[in-house]
């Protein structure tokens, strides 16, 4: 399957979902991305305090 075909299929699947289902998927994707970013920061800066970790996350997210 080519990328354009995969994207079209993905969008078709999303269109068939209810708004609540799409919102749930978005929240799950956010959580996965957050955990990946947190793990990367912990690996880069071992021993960083929880507050320092949160500050680095805010820095990366741009908040």
> What pLDDT sits at residue 1?
87
Rounded mean pLDDT of 51-57? 95
Domain range for 57: 3-61
Count up the domains in the chain and report the number.
1
Gap between the Cα atoms of 42 and 53, Å rounded: 7
Q: What is the pTM of this model?
A: 0.73
Give the whole-angstrom CA distance, residue 7 versus residue 31: 22
Q: Is the pLDDT of residue 63 over 90?
A: no
Q: What is the pLDDT of residues 4-52, one digit of tens each?
A: 999 999 999 999 999 999 999 999 999 999 999 999 999 999 999 999 9
How many angstroms separate the CA atoms of 63 and 47, rounded? 23
């Amino acid at each position: 399957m080519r990328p354009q075909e995969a994207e079209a299929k993905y969008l078709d699947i999303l269109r068939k979902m209810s708004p609540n289902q799409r919102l749930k998927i978005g929240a799950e994707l956010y959580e996965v991305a957050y955990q990946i970013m947190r793990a990367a920061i912990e690996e880069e800066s071992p021993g960083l305090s929880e507050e320092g970790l949160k500050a680095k996350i805010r820095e990366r997210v741009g908040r």
